Amino acid sequence: MTDEQLRSDVDAFVDEVWEDVVRDIDLLVRHDSVEDLAHAEPGRPWGPAANDALVEAERMAERLGLEVTDLDGYLGFADVPGASGPERYLATIAHTDIVPTGEGWHFPPLEVTRKDGMLIGRGVADDKGPFVLSLYAAAYFARRAAAGEELPYTLRCIIGNNEETGMGDVPYYLERYPEPLFCFSPDAEFPLICGEKGLYGGEFTSGPVAGERIVELAGGTVSNAIPGRASALVRADAAALPAAERVAVEDAGEGLARVTATGIGGHASMPAGTVNAIGVLARYLLANDLAGDGERPFLELLATLTEDAYGRAAGVAATDDKFGDLTLVAGVVRTEGGRFVQTVDSRFPTSTTAEDITARLGELARAHGCAYEASRGESPFYVSPDSPEVHALLDTYAEYTGREGRAFTIGGGTYARHFRRACAFGPQDPADELPGWVGGEHGPDEGVSEEAMRRALKIYIVSIARLMELEL
């Protein structure tokens, strides 16, 4: 098949299946597939809701003619067998788990809304929508195989189920199966991501001070998202508290007031344009003397952590020529056992280390009368942008968009970092402008352009066809 014939065939395929694609995205979005370890069990290691989404995805794959394997509920995969056999295969990997929906939605978060060429719903961008694209890309080759065409390599569509909270599913897979010859993850942006910053996390814990003036602090839903909402229950007369931008105060009865701060949420790796609600709340409480002597240092710590999103105020700033600036985000604040706890998420370049970050944040904790413990530290990931596999993907992107295909690095973490030969490849494109009412990943009103998703599906199919032609 010539290049022109391939593109024409792919165009016809996408036109034929598109309504099915949207329907299947909706089927997945209807699952509130947030990790729930409290209800985990054998066969459902990430909880029942996450497993339900995985099972739904596996059913889709079977319906589309792929050979499906469920790996003990950790993840699944769906194959189009090729001449190489199951040991030598090309792969895509996407995920069916999500972050909590959170607040601030103008559309139903757990169903797909089609409006003005957009698809809105939790997971349409990250990563249920892209997963469905990868599944239908595999279905295209399953159709060709059913017509008698033998693929040079087995094509495997890996269905992840624990990307948002730790990626514990991929190590389980790699302990049992060989790595793919090459793999891409449709879980990021075009043109192509060849490197990812190091991933770091930890927690600050105050002394036993909660309740002095502040009965409760609460904000954020997951550590890898900038919170759009945070609140405090304080011992104060609500009527006597002043108004402030992004802050609402209401009487909570029995001499208590509820102070609620509203920010602008977003993904921890992309803090530009966000406003951390925890910082807004901490500064209001400090400015209005709503903290006891023992509580004040913790609020001052929160103010320092949220002064900027690049670790400057916290003393951990770093940068390099591949990855740019370190990011540091205060994600979730909670009250636990009479103490306040604050999580932090950092994405770091090669010019620092997890150990260096831990040392500095430990010093910061001690200066504010707190304890600090690191919970995660993974080194940066980088693959050469000059490999033939990367060139095949970038060339396809350029043909379909008319834009130059250049690899870049990010602060987010995708499944690609777990493989030796891998990258993240779309489907979102920064060159595509979205309406102001469409939200981003991890935020309210998460949305994608339907036309951009159609184009991405074509890019994925043609890219896989070209990978099949390489000597790997």
Mean pLDDT across 212-219:
95
Cα–Cα distance measured from residue 347 to residue 412, given in angstroms and rounded to the nearest whole number: 7
Q: What is the mean pLDDT of the chain?
A: 96
Amino acid residing at 109: P
pLDDT(116) > 90: yes
* Model pLDDT, residue 227: 95
Cα–Cα distance measured from residue 205 to residue 282, given in angstroms and rounded to the nearest whole number: 16
pLDDT(48) > 80: yes
Quick one: which of 385, 326, 382 has its CA closest to 356?
326
Q: How confident is the model at residue 388 (pLDDT cuts 50, 70, 90)?
A: very high
* Model pLDDT, residue 166: 83
Domain 3-197+381-467 is found in CATH 3.40.630.10 = yes
* Model pLDDT, residue 267: 85
pLDDT(115) > 90: yes
pLDDT, tens digit, 9 for 90 and up, residues 57-103 = 999 999 999 999 999 999 999 999 999 999 999 999 999 999 999 88
Quickly count: other Cβ atoms within 10 Å of residue 406's Cβ: 12
For 5, counting Cβ atoms within 10 Å of its Cβ (0-12 exposed, 13-18 middle, 19+ buried), the class is exposed
Look at the pTM and tell me if it is higher than 0.85.
Answer: no
Compute, in degrees rounded to 10, the torsion defined by CA atoms 394, 397, 399, 405: -50
Q: How confident is the model at residue 211 (pLDDT cuts 50, 70, 90)?
A: confident
* Model pLDDT, residue 413: 78
Asked whether the beta carbons of 464 and 184 are under 8 A apart, the reply is no
Could you tell me what percent of the chain has a pLDDT over 70? 100
* Model pLDDT, residue 442: 87
**Cis geometry, peptide bond prior to residue 191 (ω within 30 degrees of 0):** yes
Fill in the DSSP letter of residue 405. Answer: -
* Model pLDDT, residue 412: 75
Task: Using alpha carbons only, give the angle 433, 434, 438 rounded to the nearest 5 degrees.
Answer: 160
Delimit the domains of the chain by residue range.
3-197+381-467, 199-378
Q: Which CATH architecture best describes the domain 199-378?
A: 2-Layer Sandwich (3.30)
- Tell me the three state secondary structure of residue 185: strand
* Model pLDDT, residue 408: 93
pLDDT(210) > 80: no
Enter the tokens of residue 299.
Answer: 């609020």
**First-to-last CA distance in the chain?**
21
pLDDT(209) > 90: no
For 179, counting Cβ atoms within 10 Å of its Cβ (0-12 exposed, 13-18 middle, 19+ buried), the class is middle
pLDDT(45) > 80: yes
* Model pLDDT, residue 410: 85
pLDDT(360) > 80: yes
pLDDT, tens digit, 9 for 90 and up, residues 152-189 = 999 999 999 999 988 999 999 999 999 999 999 999 99
pLDDT, tens digit, 9 for 90 and up, residues 407-444 = 999 887 789 999 999 999 999 998 998 999 999 988 89
